[in-house]
Structure 1
Amino acid sequence: MSQKGYAIELYFDPALENQVLKAWNVLARRQISTQLIEIESRPHITLFSAPFVDPTKLENIIKIFSSKQAPLPLSFSMIGSFSNDNDVLFLTPTPTVSLLQFHSQLCDAMKKEGIEIGEESRPESWVPYCAVAQEVPRTRMAEGFCVLRDLKLPVSGYAVDIGLVEFSPVRELFSFVLGNTVEG
């Protein structure tokens, strides 16, 4: 059952993105999970998601917000999993003050414009993570962890842009480079 909705996603610099893609590809080759590749996702941290939003309203908020931000240092230092109906394997970034502030400032900017922030996107309950595999069969979870351990964590880099996608399949509606002061 593929979900439908919208998500604001934080994207990485090319070197960091490639490190994450390497994990996706190994997991796919071992047939542990190909789902992220199939839905045409891109390595990211989800900042906010909702079943329905007004993209044009968000575009303006994100454009202004992103222009005031600098690229954000990220270091993925841990491997984790969510075990629910669709088992997810992910990399967790070290929760730095700058990452947490970035997220809460975005939430504030959205609230000011009357956008409802759902429970899991609220600063007090938000968990930053970068999915590397979805719908992993229970019996393959341990193997998935082993594959990720070979990544030699931490992998570090920067978050460099922020975009809105519709899913799934994933379709990017727009994205802005952090610190980009281009007049639109």
Structure 2
Amino acid sequence: MAQALEFFFDGEADTAVRGMWQRLERAGVPSLATRSHRRHRPHVTFALGGAFTRQTRAELAAELDLLALPSIWLYTLGTFPTTENNLVLTAVVDAELLAVHSAVHDVLAKKVKNPVAYYLPGSWVPHCALAQEIDTPTLAAGIAALHPVEPVRAKVDEVGITDTVTGEVDILFSRA
């Protein structure tokens, strides 16, 4: 079982990403909205690993209350060079986004077992997943369905720990 630290978007950005998921579906590309048994919310994952303890969650919540969470500009349609094709909308990486990422990883250091290396500082490519585990022709169809992409300015409304099996989210921070 893995858990993910996810930053969820404001209503306008959430609607924009869901619109992209719908465009993919209309093009015959299984989007993240229908690909999994759990209900996905548009987000950017900041960390992934084994269980986040109650103490670690409390420390993260306290740190998040101190941070100025920047808007996340989702700008580039892309994929990763792996054998599993994923279609993603990557974020513009700026100093503010990297500072928040570093701050949360300072809290998580040596507290989360089996951290996934892709999400560690220096390796992280911030992105919002649009479609996962699709074959190459389907990836090409997805790119064609979404290109050109309108940039999405995502304000962070909530931050939570998501159980990647059940989809259950423990909200650590909310602007509401």
Partner of 1:12: 9
Residue pair 2:76, 2:89 contacting (<8 A) in 1 also? yes
Q: 1:128 aligns with which of 106, 126, 130?
A: 126
Partner of 1:40: 39
Cα distance in 1 for residues equivalent to 2:17 and 2:32 = 14
Q: 1:59 aligns with which of 47, 57, 60?
A: 57
- In the TM superposition, what whole-angstrom CA distance separates every residue of 1:12-57 from its partner, at most 9, and x where no partner exists? 111011101111122123321144433311111110001x213413
Determine if the alignment matches structure 1 residue 155 to structure 2 residue 148: no
Q: 2:117 aligns with which of 116, 119, 122?
A: 119
TM-score (norm 1): 0.84
TM-score (norm 2): 0.87
Residue pair 1:71, 1:160 contacting (<8 A) in 2 also? no
Runs of 4+ in 1 over 3 A off after TM superposition: 34-38, 113-118
- In the TM superposition, what whole-angstrom CA distance separates every residue of 1:68-125 from its partner, at most 9, and x where no partner exists? 12331121111111253431100011101100110001101222x6335442222111
- Give the 5 Å matches for 1:37-116: 37=34, 38=36, 39-50=38-49, 52-111=50-109, 114-116=111-113
How many equivalent pairs are there? Answer: 173
Residue pair 2:158, 2:172 contacting (<8 A) in 1 also? yes
Gaps of 5+ in 2: none
Which residue identity does 2:163 align to in structure 1? Answer: E
Cα distance in 2 for residues equivalent to 1:43 and 1:7 = 13
Cα distance in 2 for residues equivalent to 1:91 and 1:142 = 15
Residue pair 1:10, 1:161 contacting (<8 A) in 2 also? yes
Q: 1:171 aligns with which of 161, 168, 172?
A: 168
Gaps of 5+ in 1: none
- SS of 1:135's partner is strand
* Per-residue deviation, 1:161: 1.9
Partner of 1:26: 23
Which residue identity does 1:107 align to in structure 2? Answer: H
Deviates more, 1:31-40 or 1:132-141: 31-40
